[in-house]
Amino acid sequence: MEREGLTMEVAVFSDIHNNYEAFKACFSYCTGRGIDRYLLLGDYVSDCPEPEKTMELVYILRDYFRSKFIRGNREDYFLNYRDRGATGWQNGSASGTLLYTWEHLTDRDLYFFEKLPITDVWEEPGYPAITLCHGAPDQSNGVLLKGRRNTRRVLSGIRTSVFLHGHHHEQEAYRYRDINCINPGSIGVPWNEGGKAQFAILKSDGGEWIEELVQLDYDREAEYRAFAESGLMERAPAWAALVMHTLRTGVDMTETVMLRATQLCREDRGEVVWPDIPEKYWAQALLENRIDLQGRDI
């Protein structure tokens, strides 16, 4: 349903999660189309390796393009960790990826996160305004799904014709009354579409915004090598395997395996003290779900 004469394109990126190879590919695709406006919905870091490379590309978008940034729940994780004295995380599958990312963040990164809003409105003269957030307008970890009661409640308070949100890594576009709601999907740890990176492009000639939902393949082998070379697979073996499994397949098994590892720990030890869940329970949970340490199906 595209109209002739569309004059502006805006790229919408969300949930990059340190996946530099996917981020780079999506950015290159957009610059190849001449796009110079970007809306980024948060969760820039954690889960994958190379936060330094990811943040440098974030700063390029900030400094050389017309971009707006939102804070995600992962950025809140690191700000809260700093504020409580940087204690509580340890190597291991429960929190090793968070500790790894924390050790590679700089004061510059934390200052950048701190200044980001959790919701904002993007306005360009001559075009309809757009509301954007990460999870929900009032909380970075809110989950908004099509048709849910809490989603309808949130949308009843939106005053723009387009509403963008991420956090839930499932790409979709839907309407609520006169609001066009878009989850661009995840660039870094995408669900579905065989693990292809996902984002959205909004197009307009000054009238309504028309969305294009994009699924893009990228150099996944380079990203797997980064997992191995960074040491992340040793610091958080099962969690790294689960992330790589999602990259390979588009199927997210993290909650299933995490809950099973927690259950095994409780059954054996009588209690669970997060994040002290021994790796043997994570390994058993992976095996039961037929996933190896490279994130491949067994």
User: Is there a domain that residue 30 lies in?
Assistant: yes
User: Is there a domain that residue 298 lies in?
Assistant: no
pLDDT band at 7 (very low <50, low <70, confident <90, very high): confident
Query: Taken in order 185, 187, 188, 194, is the CA torsion positive or negative?
Result: positive
Is it the case that residue 86 has pLDDT exceeding 80?
A: yes
User: Is there a domain that residue 295 lies in?
Assistant: no
Which of these three, 167, 188, 216, is where a domain ends?
216
Q: Which pLDDT score, from 0 to 100, does residue 2 have?
A: 41
| Domain shared by 167 and 203, yes or no | yes
Task: Tell me the pLDDT of the chain averaged across its residues.
Answer: 96
pLDDT band at 1 (very low <50, low <70, confident <90, very high): very low
Is it the case that residue 221 has pLDDT exceeding 60?
A: yes
Buried b / exposed e over 194-232, threshold 16 CB at 10 Å, is ebbbbbbbbbbeeeebebebbbbebebeebbebbeebeb
* Residue whose entry in the numeric block shows the structure tokens 């720990």: 265
Q: DSSP letters along 177-238, please? A: TTEEEEE---SSS--SGGG-EEEEEEEESSSS-EEEEEEE---HHHHHHHHHHHTHHHHSHH
| Domain shared by 205 and 250, yes or no | no
Is it the case that residue 228 has pLDDT exceeding 70?
A: yes
Is it the case that residue 278 has pLDDT exceeding 90?
A: yes
- Give the mean pLDDT of 60-74: 98
| Domain shared by 66 and 164, yes or no | yes
| Domain shared by 65 and 193, yes or no | yes
- Give the mean pLDDT of 72-100: 97
| Domain shared by 211 and 241, yes or no | no
| Domain shared by 209 and 62, yes or no | yes
- Give the mean pLDDT of 9-38: 98
pLDDT band at 152 (very low <50, low <70, confident <90, very high): very high
pTM (two decimals): 0.96
Task: Please write the tens of the pLDDT for every residue from 115-148.
Answer: 999 999 999 999 999 999 999 999 999 999 999 9
Task: Please write the tens of the pLDDT for every residue from 157-205.
Answer: 999 999 999 999 999 999 999 999 999 999 999 999 999 999 999 999 9
- Give the mean pLDDT of 30-59: 98
Q: Which pLDDT score, from 0 to 100, does residue 209 have?
A: 96
Which of these three, 172, 191, 216, is where a domain ends?
216
What span, in angstroms and rounded, lies between the C-alpha atoms of 298 and 293? 10
Both tokens of 33, joined, read: 């189309």
| Domain shared by 88 and 185, yes or no | yes
Buried b / exposed e over 43-74, threshold 16 CB at 10 Å, is bbbbbbbbbebbbeebeebeeeeebbbbbbbb
Q: Which pLDDT score, from 0 to 100, does residue 5 have?
A: 55
Query: Taken in order 6, 7, 9, 10, is the CA torsion positive or negative?
Result: negative
How many independent structural domains does the chain possess?
Answer: 2
| Domain shared by 115 and 250, yes or no | no
What domain range is 26 assigned to? 8-216
